[in-house]
Amino acid sequence: MFWFILGLVIAAVAWVAVAVTRKFFIGIIGTVVGLGLILLSTVYTQDVGEALVIKNADGTVSSVDMEAGFGVKAPWQDTISWDITGQQIVYKGNGQSTQANEVVDGPEITVSGSDKLSSNVDAAVRYSLDARKIEQIYTDYKTQENFENRVINKDSQTVIRDSANKFATEDLPVKRADYSKAIEDNLRARWEPLGIKVDSIALQNIRIPASVQDKFTKTQEANAQIIAEQSQTKVIEEQAKQKVIEAKGEADANRIKSDSLTDKILQNNYIDALKNSKYLIAGGGSSTMLQLPAPTP
C-alpha cells in the first residue's frame, strides 16, 4: 500500500503545482509517475517456501497465495510474508552462537527427570507450517515473530521439560532416542490442530549432574567387568569341553585298538620284534636272555 499512497500523493501534489504555476506539464509528469507507482504496487513476487497473506486496507484477509512466482493484487492491499518450510528454533548453552552462521534462539533448557534431579539440554526443533492454516494463524497472531514467541518457543520449552519427567536422570543420555520421540509425539499432539508439522527433534547435548554421571560411569565399568568375566568363564568352559572331547576320542581310539589285538596279531607282532632284536628270551617261562650272533655282512 505504500507505493499506492505515494503515487496518489505525487499525482495530487503535481496538480496542486499546476494550479499554482499554470504549468500543465508538471501535472502530466506527476500523474505519469503516480500511476507508475500505483501500478507497481499491484505486482508482487513470492519465493518457494513462502506464503503471502493478502490484507485489505481495513485489516481483513483477502486471500493467501501459496504459489511461488509473480502475483497481482489491488493497489490498496498489502502482502505479509510467512516462511512456512525449513523453520527451526535452537536452544544451546548460554544462548550465544559458537559457530559461524549459527543462529541460537535461546539458552539451554533445564529439565527434571523422574527422580527430580536437574539436567541441561541443548535442543533444536525443526518444523514447517501448513499453508492452508496461514490465514487462521495470521488472524490469531498477526506476525510470524509473535506467533513464534507465543506458540513455537513456549510450547517447545514446555514439552522438552515435561517429556523428561518420564525418564530417570541417568537414562536421559542413554535413552536419547526415546526422549526425542516423546518430545516429538507431544509436540505433534499440540501443533497438528494449529497447522504446524514437526519435522525433527535434535537433542544435541544432554548434561546430567556430575554425581549422576560418575555413578553411571562406575555402573558401566562394573557391567563391562562382569561381561568380561562372563566371557572368560565361557572360554574356560569351552576349553574344558574340548579337552573332554579329546580325552573321549583318545579313549575310544585306545579301546578300538585294544579290541583289534587278537592272539594271532600279538604273536605276529612278537615274531616281528624278534627279527629286529639282538637278544632272545628262552621259552617255557624262563627269564634267561640269549644274545644272538651278529649277522654276517
Ramachandran assignment for 285, one of left (phi > 0), alpha (psi -120 to 50 degrees), beta (any other): left
pLDDT of residue 42: 75
Consecutive 10-residue averages of pLDDT for the chain (297 residues): 58 60 63 65 83 88 86 83 93 87 92 94 96 93 94 97 95 94 97 96 92 65 66 75 76 68 64 61 52 53
**Spatial distance between the Cα atoms of 251 and 293, rounded to a whole number of angstroms:** 42
pLDDT of residue 213: 64
β-bridge mates for residue 206, sequence order? 121
Sign for the pseudo-dihedral over CA of 189, 193, 198, 203: negative
CB 64, CB 52: distance < 8 Å: yes
pLDDT of residue 32: 62
**Spatial distance between the Cα atoms of 105 and 128, rounded to a whole number of angstroms:** 17
pTM of the full structure = 0.63
pLDDT digits (tens, 9 = 90+) for 102-122: 899 999 999 999 999 999 999
Query: What integer best gives the mean pLDDT of the chain?
Result: 80
Give me the amino acid identity at 67.
E
pLDDT of residue 290: 47
Upper half-sphere CA count for residue 99 (Cβ side, 13 Å):
6
pLDDT of residue 211: 80
**Spatial distance between the Cα atoms of 206 and 244, rounded to a whole number of angstroms:** 52
Those residues whose C-beta lies under 8 Å from the C-beta of residue 166, and which sit 6 or more positions away, are 114, 182
pLDDT digits (tens, 9 = 90+) for 254-269: 677 666 666 666 666 6
β-bridge mates for residue 196, sequence order? 129
